[in-house]
Structure 1
Amino acid sequence: MQTIAITGATGLLGRALVKIFKTQYNIIGCGFRRAAPPLVSLDLSDQGAVNNFLDEYAPDVLIHAAAERKPDVCETDHAQTLALNVAASEHLAAQCSQRGIRLFFISTDYVFDGTQPPYNEQATTNPLNFYGQSKQRAEQAVLSIDPGHCVIRIPVLYGEVEYLAESAVTVIAEQLKASPSGAHDDWAIRYPTHVEDIALTLADLVALPAKKLGGIYHVSDTQAMTKYQMARTMAAQLGVDAEQLVAVPEPTQSAARPHNCALQDTRLHELGIAHHRDFASAIASVLSKHL
């Protein structure tokens, strides 16, 4: 049985990866501050500890899902963002290459500026904020070290959250509960994607021979929605009158966001890999556990 190591296993995507992969593989999940057995505590900024981890567990595949993903946080702390999103990823890529470990690096649609969607895997990147810039640099480092490594670009995620503010999607429900007539962004077009669909897609990719892989893959659902539209979708379940909600037609966050970063999953389509679900029913299932 192959061994799959997963960084960021305490996070939203990481937990879904563990859930999906543990049915077929030996899983070594790691985190940092929130890691508790059976997860392994690993400081990705400690290169010696990373090397020891890879030598001790000798995974066949490493899925690198750990990152600082909040654009506004990245904008205010460049040093920490570079340490985790770039330096740690570059080191993992080099060490995995030396040991013959297949690396899947989780990136973002924010490497694009959102002006010419949809974007295929070969499209020119032009990130608008520091989060996107850090991921762009990491992508370039990972693939320059080993073209056999895989970069997985994903959009905004939702799924089984530990608390509503854990996801940029489910936090909208928390905002609705606090302010039933609040304002929500109706400018940026997003493609909310369930973390289990990302995990299922990765499971399909991992099952393929390594010689067939390498390079960039886009994984995204296809329902285009602004946060205002997501809020209207969630309103009824929360007992909120959707007609009270206020649409904000221009961006308001401190870190610049792209208008529309639709990811075209050309390579997955060629492989016959597709995992999607209806947003309305999926988000209803997620929220039902928090009402």
Structure 2
Amino acid sequence: MKTILTTGSNGLLGQKLTEKVLAEGRVKLVATSKGLNRYPVKEGYEYAEMDILDPEQVKYVIEKYEPNAVIHTAAMTNVDTCEANKALCHQLNVDAVQTLISICEEKNIQLIHLSTDFVFDGADGPYQENDPVNPVSYYGESKVLAEELIKDSKANWAVLRTILVYGITSDMSRSNIVLWAKGALEKASPINVVNDQWRMPTLAEDLAEACILAVEKNVNGIYHISGKDYMSIADLVRKVADYWGLDKSCLNEISSASLNQTAKRPVKTGFVLDKAIKDLGYNPHSFEEGLKILDQQMKG
């Protein structure tokens, strides 16, 4: 049985990976994150504190546990914060990746790296894996730089690009689009929603499954991993309202330009999923099914 080591295990995807491993037992797990373990169950896997900005600590932890694969979920993902603090974004999203590449090359460890639809400019989505990248934000740029480092390496690697991940865990450091929409609609106060950006939202469980499949099948290359439904952000929020029977009259559709955000966003992303379906056996839930899963988890 393979051993995987995850970075960023306190994040949404990190916790879903822990959950999946404990439920299914297909791989052994070493979960790592900065600070204490926030996952409620502490048995059935190893946990190690690891700051990805500390190369010595990263090397020590990986050498200690000797994983077959590293699933690198840790990153700086707030697009506006990345734009405002490019130096820190570069450290977290590029330098930390170089550290992992060096160790994985030396130890012959498979590296599964999480990337984003924001590597594209959004002029021509949905995208295939080999479409040219052209980021419109520094966040997107940092992820392209990391992808280039990985592609140029001698490591055994797979890059999984994803879109707008949503889900719920017991101890969340930040929200996501579905939880934000549900919470805002429940308050019934007016909310502004952009109607000129299109995405394919991804259930965190589906992304976790794709990560484990990539290890099990030992794939190499870039893979597009998202949900199967293509929609505008305004449509997404309306679907959330419909699912939970919430009032849509408080929705105020606006253009992206009127938000005056620090960083630009791509207009239309979305992915062609054929390669992941063929090579990985990837089979994502519909958005409706994803909301149902979320609802069941909220009810405990």
TM-score normalised to structure 2 length? 0.89
Q: Compared with structure 1, are the counterparts of its residues 167 and 192 closer, same or farther at alpha carbon in structure 2 (3 Å cutoff)?
A: same
Q: Give the corresponding residue for 2:130.
A: 122
Matched, 1:167 2:176: yes
Tell me which residue corresponds to 2:20. Answer: 20
Aligned twin of 2:212: 203
173, 182, 189: which one pairs with 1:180?
A: 189
Secondary structure class of the residue paired with 1:170: helix
Q: CA deviation at 1:264?
A: 1.5
SS at match of 1:218: strand
Aligned residue number for residue 249 of structure 1? 255
Q: Do structure 1's residue 59 and structure 2's residue 39 form an aligned pair?
A: no
Q: Measure how far apart 1:278 and its partner are.
A: 2.4
Question: 1:254 is aligned with what amino acid?
Answer: T
Shift of 1:94: 1.4
Cα deviation code 1:223-262 (max 9, x no counterpart): 1122221221222455532133111133423210001111
Say which SS state the counterpart of residue 249 (structure 2) adopts.
helix
Partners of 2:81 and 2:186 in 1: CA distance:
24
Aligned partner (choices 152, 159, 168) of residue 160 of structure 2: 152
Counterpart CA distance in 2 for 1:271 and 1:184 is 36
Q: Which of 52, 59, 79 matches 1:44?
A: 52
Among 120, 142, 160, the residue aligned to 1:134: 142
**Secondary structure of the structure 2 residue equivalent to 1:140:** helix
| Structure 2 SS opposite 1:30 | strand
User: How does 1:260-271 map onto structure 2 within 5 Å?
Assistant: 260-271=268-279
How many residue pairs get aligned? The number is: 288
Where in structure 2 are there 5+ consecutive unaligned residues? none
Residues of 2 paired with 1:160 and 1:143: CA distance? 32
* Counterpart-to-counterpart distance in 1, 2:224 and 2:121: 16
Offset of residue 198 of structure 1 = 1.1
Larger deviation, residues 269-278 vs 115-124: 269-278
Shift of 1:205: 2.1
Partner of 1:226: 232
User: For residues 113-166 of structure 1, what are the alpha-carbon distances to aligned partners after superposition, in whole Å with 9 as ceiling and x for unaligned?
Assistant: 011122111111000001100000001011211263111101110112445952
Q: Which residue type is aligned with residue 232 of structure 1? A: R
CA contact (8 A) 2:110 2:155 kept: no
**Mapped contact 1:164–1:173 kept (Cα < 8 A):** no
1:222 to partner: Cα distance: 2.0
User: C-alpha root-mean-square deviation of aligned residues, in Å?
Assistant: 2.1
Runs of 4+ residues deviating >4 angstroms: 236-239, 287-291
**Does the C-alpha gap of structure 1 residues 254 and 152 become closer, same or farther in structure 2, counting only changes over 3 Å?**
same
**Where does structure 1 lack aligned partners over 5 or more consecutive residues?**
none
DSSP 3-state at the match of 1:9 = coil
On the 8 A contact 1:30/1:40 being kept in 2, the answer is yes
Q: Could you tell me how far apart the structure 2 residues matched to 1:244 and 1:182 are?
A: 6
Paired AA for residue 256 in structure 1 = K
How does the TM-score come out when normalised to structure 1? 0.91
Kindly state the Cα deviation for residue 284 of structure 1 after the two structures are TM-superposed: 4.3
Letter in 1 for 2:63: D
Which deviates further from its counterpart, 85-94 or 269-278?
269-278
Match of 1:31 in 2: 33
Distance 2:153 2:192 in 1: 45
- Cα shift at 1:201: 1.8
1:99 aligns with 2:101: no
Which stretch of the first structure deviates more once superposed, 136-145 or 247-256? 247-256
- State the secondary structure of the residue aligned to 1:269: helix
CA contact (8 A) 2:228 2:285 kept: no
Give identity over the alignment, percent.
Answer: 27
